[in-house]
Amino acid sequence: MPIEIRELVIKTSINDGQNNSSGGTESSDANDQDAIIAACVEQVLAILKEKSER
């Protein structure tokens, strides 16, 4: 029996660079954030594609 999810709640916490002690971490943090966003977008698009194929 399939399960239907009617509501999905995603919570996140983003620190605004308060704990950065070295100057070189800002670009790596931006790269990490871009990678996370790209992965999320890819997953959402895959879900939408799967829904449209049904």
- For 1-54, the pLDDT digits (tens) are 787 878 878 888 877 766 655 555 567 777 889 899 999 999 999 999 988 877
The two structure tokens encoding residue 6? 């009617």
CA–CA dist 49, 53 (Å, integer): 6
Structural domains in the chain (count): 1
pTM: 0.47
Ramachandran assignment for 17, one of left (phi > 0), alpha (psi -120 to 50 degrees), beta (any other): left
CB under 8 Å to 34, separation ≥6 — which residues? none
Residues of the domain holding 45: 28-54
Predicted local distance difference test score (pLDDT) of residue 42: 92
pLDDT (0 to 100) of residue 26? 64
Instruction: Read off the amino acid at residue 37.
Output: I
42 within domain boundaries = yes
In-domain check, residue 3:
no
Q: What is the pLDDT of residue 14?
A: 78
